[in-house]
Chains A and B, each alone.
Chain A
Amino acid sequence: MPLSDVNRLDISFTLLTQSGHQLKLSLLIFGIVPFFVTSLLSVIDHIHAQEFELCTTLRMNRWKTLWEVIIVGRLDQVFEVMRQNFAIAWLMITSVEGLSMSEGGLGVMLIKANKYVQLDVVFGTLVIIFILGILFDYLLGLLRHWLFPYTKLTVRR
């Protein structure tokens, strides 16, 4: 029987990692990195050229400019990117746990319940995933406003 792309990915990662936990983490990171990197590049790409010119007129060197405009200046947006990626990771975790079942977890519960047509368990698990996702997102939102108080001044309420 020919191998699917997912099988190939699973086998490659299983060979590269030493435990079920490592495998799960590696698959999650593999799935998240493209979203994270493209979102970060978009944040940097949208920086107004005049911010760099301001740094020049304030006689900042390149490192100070990098620190002030890109690192510290965009930390709140990076946090927001992380928050959005956490949501993607949270959705992905069920698929990843389905690929690496040795560690158990909500994804494993969902797949097993589905296999034995325990639709009440499937529904209950989905509700738990949904509520936990909303809760984590809310907590990260609070943390963002606490860490970066200026953020709430610049975003639409």
Chain B
Amino acid sequence: MNAYTKHEVLLSAENVGLQYGGKVVLRDVNFTIRDIRRQGINQGQVVSLIGRSGIGKTQLFRILSGLRRPNTGQVKMDEDQHVVQPGEVGIVPQNYILFNHRTIYQNLKIGLDSAGGQLTEAHKRKTIEECAAAFELSEHLKKYPAQLSGGQRQRVSIIQQVLTGNKFILLDEPFSGLDVLMVDRVMQLLLKISTLNEHNTLIIVSHDIENAAAISDMVWVLAPEAGKPGATIVKEYDLCEMELAWTPNIRENMRFVELLADIRRHL
């Protein structure tokens, strides 16, 4: 049994709705993410937003990051629950956008420069080198993004956001286009990022139910409701409560297999 307690609200959405030229895309999206605490570990939060393609996941992703204003409702963050502003939530897009004219070191340094603070150049170099070593990127620091594989670019993109100091990071389809081994490595990386800081919160937007649920402590299912326009969160699974979070080899657990089947039914 993984003992845990839930504390203050870190991110919440109240009646978020979005319309596109008269067509309702999202309707009454409500959720809260609370700070999870566990003894002896910086336990961050990992939430998965599961939904079929074209259901409005990417639009909700943009709303959560503050890049798009919803037509109704608000997304609030941090302990003071202020309305989310662009730049307060990091994003890792599906195609891992980086500055192609900058080396990996320079790309990471842009993230660190954006964090503010009073670090000296030597201190910044040390931080980047430590981070690169921790995430197996040391030998690539002098390379350009075009010289890296998709998985390596994804790692750089995630670490760039971490160095920016963003506690909330949204990942759009992080397992898409990766082979089985790379998916496992990405999952390990995400778990590592989530435990770097108590308030680190990763929101994974994906249609890969199994991999997303395997590392999450909460799963939201975004789907339409019968007779109502637009998509909303139709089901919320608290994996901590179900004792399915933070468990090694979770895929072999029968209850987890049943959970996946149940999620599929709600899609």
Q: CB within 8 Å of A: which residues of B?
A: 65, 67, 86-87, 89-91, 93, 95, 97-101, 110-111, 114, 144, 146-147, 160-161, 164, 166
Contacts and interface: CB of A to CB of B under 8 A. Distances in A.
The listed residue with most B CB atoms (<10 A of its CB), out of A50, A58, A75, A149, is A58
A153 B147 CA distance: 7
Contact of A57 (B90, B95, B98, B146): B90
Interface of A: 48, 50-51, 53-54, 56-60, 68, 72-73, 75-76, 148-150, 153-154
B167 to A, nearest CB: 13
Contacts of B110: 58, 68
A48 B90 CA distance: 18
Given A150-B144, A153-B146, A153-B147, A57 B101 contact: no
Contact of A53 (B67, B99, B111, B166): B67
Contact of B97 (A48, A68, A76, A154): A48
Contact of A72 (B101, B164, B166): B101
Contact of B111 (A48, A58, A76, A153): A58
21 contacts: A50-B93, A50-B97, A53-B93, A56-B67, A57-B65, A57-B87, A57-B161, A57-B164, A57-B166, A58-B111, A58-B114, A58-B160, A59-B164, A73-B99, A75-B101, A150-B101, A150-B144, A150-B146, A153-B144, A153-B146, A154-B100
Contacts of A60: 114
A57 B147 contact: no
Secondary structure dominating the interface of A = helix
Contact of A59 (B65, B87, B147, B160): B87
Contacts of B146: 150, 153-154
Contacts of A72: 101
A150 B100 contact: yes
A68 B99 CA distance: 8
